[in-house]
């Protein structure tokens, strides 16, 4: 998310201001973070089965894929939504570099074809493995699905004094492929998770990335990367001021306590989701629970104030592997009419390996906002990848 101190330089929570909040004064931004509620227990309610009106989709670019080539309705209905408790019980740990505990999840159907690539799901800022709860069941019917909590998020370690960077997350992904998955894999990321996947795939030494799926890819670890957007230029003094405040431990703690309150998080999520029905108590808990871990404050400050990392504009032309870009047109963190959105929208006309779908009425986290629309585009694309 972003600054409201929000949540993903573009993921459910990154530290970038939603567009509608960018005109507010600093005092208004702080005041909107000032309410408090108690943390309720996890709800055991299952997915809402109310029939939703499907948003229209626009397909653009080279090698356009039509949904007629692959039926997803039966898969979507039978995949279901995983409960948080089940996800937690099935997670396991991996020691990265011999010192950091990384939480991950794996799911597959016994009939999964061994010739199919594995899938690795990489969340965005402020999120974690359960943010894919609406997708894992559907994808695991034909693929072995892995999901990972990046260092600093979810149930993975949040080491004191660690300097978080896009490059570190990309290396974590590459090491996970080498040590755990050990076979060709399609990387599927949202927001900063997408950018980490792009950086990993662009590593000339890697040989296991079979394809990339980018869901509203961010332009950097934080908004300092998007200097070409007039909205960011207008807010730069405020962003620098916030960086200054966050480097004062006492002030940072107060700000973080306000940002992680459930009502603040819910307001942020509502501002970045097109489908408001999916902003439920479970989603708020997914985002809020890890913020109570030791080291969460340090991670928050390091990510918000750190360097934005490599720019996707320089990286994407280097990639020759298949790339699927899916973008929600109601994203307020990385708007489709912003510099990052415009760049990715232009790629199909420049690169033959890139396919693009813009989903109308969908926000920053398409996979959780309108999972059925994402599956409708993702599954046919995966099915057309060459066998290993």
In-domain check, residue 98: yes
Is 7 contained in some domain? no
Question: Which domain does 264 fall in, by range?
Answer: 19-37+57-383
**Looking at residue 357, what is its pLDDT?**
98
- Is residue 73, in this structure, part of any structural domain at all? yes
Q: Which residues, including other chains, have CB under 8 Å from residue 129's CB and lie 6 or more apart?
A: 87, 91, 103, 104, 105, 121, 123, 147, 148, 149, 154, 155
CATH of the domain at 133: 3.40.50.1820
Q: What is the pLDDT of residue 39?
A: 38
Average pLDDT of the chain to the nearest whole number: 81
Tell me if 165 is assigned to some domain: yes
In a domain, 353, yes or no: yes
Q: What is the mean pLDDT of residues 93-110?
A: 95
Query: Is 47 a domain residue?
Result: no
Task: Round to whole Å and give the CA distance between 94 and 294.
Answer: 19
Average pLDDT over every residue of 6-32:
38
pTM of the entire predicted model: 0.79
Q: What six digits make up the tokens of 61?
A: 């670019």
Contacts with 295 (C-beta within 8 Å, 6 or more apart), sequence order: 152, 157, 158, 159, 160
Q: Provide the pLDDT confidence category of residue 222 given band limits of 50, 70 and 90.
A: confident
Task: For the chain, give the percent of residues with pLDDT over 70.
Answer: 73
In whole angstroms, give the CA distance from residue 331 to residue 338: 10
Q: How many domains does the chain have?
A: 1
Question: Greater confidence, 308 or 181?
Answer: 181
Q: How far apart are CA 278 and CA 295, in angstroms?
A: 29
For residue 50, being part of any structural domain is answered with no
pLDDT per residue over 131-190, tens digit each? Answer: 999 999 999 999 999 999 999 999 999 999 999 999 999 999 999 999 999 999 999 999
In a domain, 43, yes or no: no
Residue 307: per-residue pLDDT: 87
């Amino acid at each position: 998310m972003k600054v409201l101190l929000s949540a993903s330089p573009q993921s459910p929570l990154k530290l970038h201001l939603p567009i509608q909040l960018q005109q507010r004064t600093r005092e208004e931004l702080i005041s909107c973070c000032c309410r408090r509620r108690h943390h309720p227990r996890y709800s055991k309610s299952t997915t809402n089965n109310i029939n939703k009106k499907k948003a229209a989709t626009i397909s653009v670019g080279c090698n356009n894929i039509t949904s007629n080539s692959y039926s997803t309705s039966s898969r979507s209905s039978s995949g279901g939504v995983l409960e948080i408790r089940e996800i937690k019980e099935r997670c396991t740990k991996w020691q990265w570099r011999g010192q950091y505990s990384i939480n991950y999840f794996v799911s597959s159907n016994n009939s999964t074809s061994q010739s199919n690539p594995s899938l690795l799901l990489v969340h965005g800022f402020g999120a974690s493995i359960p943010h894919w709860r609406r997708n894992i069941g559907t994808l695991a019917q034909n693929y072995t699905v892995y999901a990972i909590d990046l260092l600093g998020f979810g149930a993975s370690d949040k080491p004191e004094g660690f300097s978080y960077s896009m490059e570190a997350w990309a290396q974590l992904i590459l090491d996970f492929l080498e040590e755990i998955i050990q076979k060709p894999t399609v990387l599927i990321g949202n927001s900063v998770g997408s950018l980490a996947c792009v950086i990993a795939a662009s590593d000339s030494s890697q040989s296991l990335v079979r394809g990339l799926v980018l869901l509203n890819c961010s332009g950097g670890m934080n908004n300092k990367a998007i200097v070409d957007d007039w909205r960011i230029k207008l807010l730069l003094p405020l962003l620098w001021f916030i960086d200054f405040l966050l480097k004062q431990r006492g002030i940072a703690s107060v700000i973080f306590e306000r940002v992680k309150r459930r009502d603040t998080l819910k307001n942020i999520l509502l501002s970045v989701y097109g489908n408001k029905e999916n902003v439920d108590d479970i989603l708020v808990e997914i985002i809020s629970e890890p913020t109570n871990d030791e080291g969460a404050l340090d991670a928050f400050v390091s990510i918000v104030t750190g360097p934005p990392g490599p720019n996707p504009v320089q990286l994407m032309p280097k990639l020759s592997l298949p790339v699927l870009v899916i973008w929600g047109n109601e994203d307020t963190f990385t708007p489709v009419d912003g510099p990052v959105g415009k760049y990715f929208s232009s790629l199909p006309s420049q690169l033959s390996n890139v396919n693009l779908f813009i989903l109308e009425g969908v926000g920053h986290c398409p996979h959780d906002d309108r999972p059925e629309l994402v599956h409708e585009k993702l599954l046919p694309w995966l099915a057309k990848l060459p066998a290993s």
